[in-house]
């Protein structure tokens, strides 16, 4: 799972930090994590560090998917950052997964419609808000 923090100039999609964690859905375990904030170093250095972390945590031949929250945000922006930095994207041949879609599908009890989406999102917000620390 990958998530980005954006700098104040989010209109231009400037990556401020990358957070990621390896997880196994089949057994419900979290694995190694990664967090690096862009603090004055070039974006390319942060992206290289993320690529190195992926290389160390993903076994060749292993079934692996890169998850993000929505297909047009984290993963797309990260991919564009690699392109802008002139670096090879390390997950070009990896299946991309959308956590937002999965979350919606988990709670869907009837065919897709806007009201059910709103209800599902409200249930997730309530659950997250009421969940004890």
Predicted confidence (pLDDT) per residue in 88-117, tens digit: 998 876 777 777 766 666 655 555 566 766
For residue 80, being part of any structural domain is answered with: yes
For residue 58, being part of any structural domain is answered with: yes
For residue 129, being part of any structural domain is answered with: no
For residue 67, being part of any structural domain is answered with: yes
For residue 13, being part of any structural domain is answered with: yes
Average pLDDT over residues 51-68: 80
pLDDT computed for residue 50 by the predictor: 95
Q: How many domains does the chain have?
A: 1
Contact 55, 68 (CB under 8 A): no
Dihedral angle of Cα 67, 75, 18, 26, to the nearest 10 degrees: 0
For residue 103, being part of any structural domain is answered with: no
pLDDT computed for residue 113 by the predictor: 62
Q: Specify the length of the chain in residues.
A: 133
Average pLDDT over residues 36-62: 87
pLDDT computed for residue 108 by the predictor: 56
Domain range holding 45?
A: 2-98
pLDDT band at 83 (very low <50, low <70, confident <90, very high): very high
Q: What angle do CA 60, 61, 65 make, to 5 degrees?
A: 90
Q: Which of 29, 45, 35 is nearest to 5 (CA)?
A: 35
Name the E strands within 41-94: 65-68
Alpha-carbon distance of 85 to 17, in angstroms, equals: 15
Alpha-carbon distance of 122 to 21, in angstroms, equals: 26
**pLDDT tens profile 3-39:** 888 876 544 458 889 999 888 877 878 889 999 998 8
pLDDT computed for residue 10 by the predictor: 47
pLDDT computed for residue 53 by the predictor: 94
pTM for the structure as a whole: 0.73
CB neighbours (10 Å) of residue 19? 16
For residue 70, being part of any structural domain is answered with: yes
């Amino acid at each position: 799972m990958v998530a980005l923090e954006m700098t104040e100039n989010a209109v231009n999609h400037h990556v401020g930090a990358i957070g990621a964690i390896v997880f196994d859905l089949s057994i419900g375990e979290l694995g190694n994590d990664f967090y690096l904030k862009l603090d004055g170093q070039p974006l390319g250095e942060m992206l290289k560090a993320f690529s190195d972390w992926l290389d160390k945590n993903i076994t060749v031949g292993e079934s692996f998917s890169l998850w993000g929250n929505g297909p047009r945000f984290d993963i797309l922006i990260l991919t564009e950052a690699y392109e802008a930095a002139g670096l090879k994207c390390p997950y070009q041949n990896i299946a991309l997964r959308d956590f937002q879609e999965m979350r919606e599908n988990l709670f869907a009890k009837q065919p897709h419609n806007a009201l059910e989406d709103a209800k599902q999102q409200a249930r997730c917000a309530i659950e997250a808000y009421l969940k004890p620390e």
